[in-house]
């Protein structure tokens, strides 16, 4: 889960990482009043809150010299489209006069199987370019989870990149705070870019990114509450409410795949792709494939206009196949959508009874034996 900037900065503030004073605006009404209530010092910077980078180059970062100008910019920015994301919130921040921009992050590195400290004294919007054209300007250090941030780590990254060592104590303190945040919040990434050196020689987080492991959300109620503010696919949200996992795959696809296990889902998707077809979305049913859950899952799938074929592949030693078939028939009857077809592959108790239910329903549902035969049925339907 990727947090918005103001959500990331709220965590920074919780761990006493210096940030600018700011106000979040989520509605055009009363904008100037809310800016005034925030007692911000002008000039300020207005920043669109979207889950993507490059906002400045896309018109999502502006400066204002007065509350009236700031309110005008906020109203203009709300509703903008930035790289496919709609701006529902903006953040007004006090502008900081700075001497230099640094980069600092801690990320989960799967290669070293450890947190990775990354530092560069050449931060800002072009950090990716720095990584490509000036790799010696970026230092990386795998961290021992049992030892944390050591003095020599900070000395190494500063000496390697040529950073001014007069800020060594501040950098170590900031890195230690990010490290605690990283572990406390089960983060995949905690990033400050830029980490500014201001005119008083103090470090300040001018921007921030935090990515949280989705599996940890049940243990983080404050972060789970933030999720409602994020822009997510409507079917992803709807499926999550009933404990399904909905995964958009290919926008141009027209097939929906459902199963009660990620391994089987991937196998089905691979076989469908090998036949030259495209899967639009997948849905993991999880446990308990009852008729009501099957019907709800099919309804969610068919709510995607591009999907004309739903493939259900369910296997369970004690899963009742007549429950699966009953749910599929129930959903197709309610959908009443012409041109839709359902391919059903199931193994378990009452399999023969399930086939009879489908055959007598008169609905566009095909029962197939095995995954390869199911994929061939999908192929024949589209050809």
Q: Which residues are catalytic?
A: 103, 191
Do residues 120 and 128 lie in contact, with contact meaning Cβ atoms separated by under 8 Å? no
Cα separation of 35 and 22, whole Å? 9
Buried b (16+ CB within 10 A) or exposed e, 264-296: bbeebbebbbeeebebbbbbbbeeebebebbbb
- Compute the 3-state secondary structure of the chain and give helix, strand, coil in percent, each to the nearest 5: 40, 25, 30
Closest CA relative to residue 331, chosen from 315, 312, 346, 313: 312
Cα separation of 57 and 83, whole Å? 11
Residues 232, 238, 244, 250, CA torsion sign: negative
Cα separation of 267 and 250, whole Å? 16
Cα separation of 122 and 101, whole Å? 6
Do residues 368 and 379 lie in contact, with contact meaning Cβ atoms separated by under 8 Å? no
- Sheet arrangement for strand 61-64: 22-25, 90-94, 44-48, 61-64
Cα separation of 227 and 237, whole Å? 10
Cα separation of 105 and 173, whole Å? 13
Listing DSSP states for 243-298 in one string gives T-EEEE--TT--EEEEESSHHHHHHHHHHHHHTT--EEEEEE--S---HHHHHHHH
């Amino acid at each position: 889960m990727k947090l918005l900037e103001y959500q990331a900065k709220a965590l920074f503030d919780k761990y006493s990482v210096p940030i600018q004073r700011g106000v979040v605006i989520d509605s055009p009404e009363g904008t100037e009043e809310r800016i005034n209530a925030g007692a911000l010092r002008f000039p300020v910077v207005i920043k669109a809150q979207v889950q993507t980078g490059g906002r400045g180059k896309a018109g999502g970062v502006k400066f204002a010299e007065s509350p009236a100008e700031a309110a005008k910019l906020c109203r203009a920015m709300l509703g903008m489209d930035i790289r496919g994301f709609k701006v529902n919130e903006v953040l007004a921040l006090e502008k900081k006069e700075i001497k230099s921009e640094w980069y600092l992050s801690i990320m989960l590195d799967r290669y070293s199987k450890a947190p990775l400290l990354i530092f560069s004294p050449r931060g800002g919007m072009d950090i990716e370019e720095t990584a490509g054209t000036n790799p010696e300007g970026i230092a990386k250090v795998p961290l021992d989870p049992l030892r944390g941030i050591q003095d020599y780590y900070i000395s190494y990254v500063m000496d390697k990149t040529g950073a001014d060592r007069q800020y060594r104590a501040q950098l170590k303190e900031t890195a230690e705070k990010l490290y605690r945040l990283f572990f406390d919040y089960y983060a995949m990434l905690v990033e400050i870019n830029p980490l500014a050196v201001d005119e008083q020689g103090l470090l300040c987080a001018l921007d921030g990114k935090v990515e949280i492991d989705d599996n940890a959300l049940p243990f983080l109620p404050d972060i789970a509450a933030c999720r409602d503010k994020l822009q997510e696919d409507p079917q992803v949200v709807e499926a999550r409410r009933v404990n399904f996992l909905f995964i958009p795959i290919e926008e141009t696809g027209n097939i929906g795949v459902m199963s009660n296990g990620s391994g089987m889902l991937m196998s089905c998707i691979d076989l469908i792709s090998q036949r030259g077809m495209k899967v639009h979305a997948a849905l993991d049913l999880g446990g308990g494939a009852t008729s009501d859950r099957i019907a709800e899952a099919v309804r969610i799938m068919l709510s995607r206009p591009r999907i004309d074929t739903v493939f259900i592949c369910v296997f369970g030693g004690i899963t009742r196949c007549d429950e699966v078939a009953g749910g599929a028939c129930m959903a197709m009857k309610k959908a009443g959508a012409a041109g839709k077809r359902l391919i059903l592959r199931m193994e378990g108790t009452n399999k023969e009874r399930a086939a009879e239910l489908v055959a007598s329903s008169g609905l566009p549902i095909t029962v197939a034996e095995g995954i390869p035969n199911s994929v061939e049925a999908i192929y024949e339907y589209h050809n």
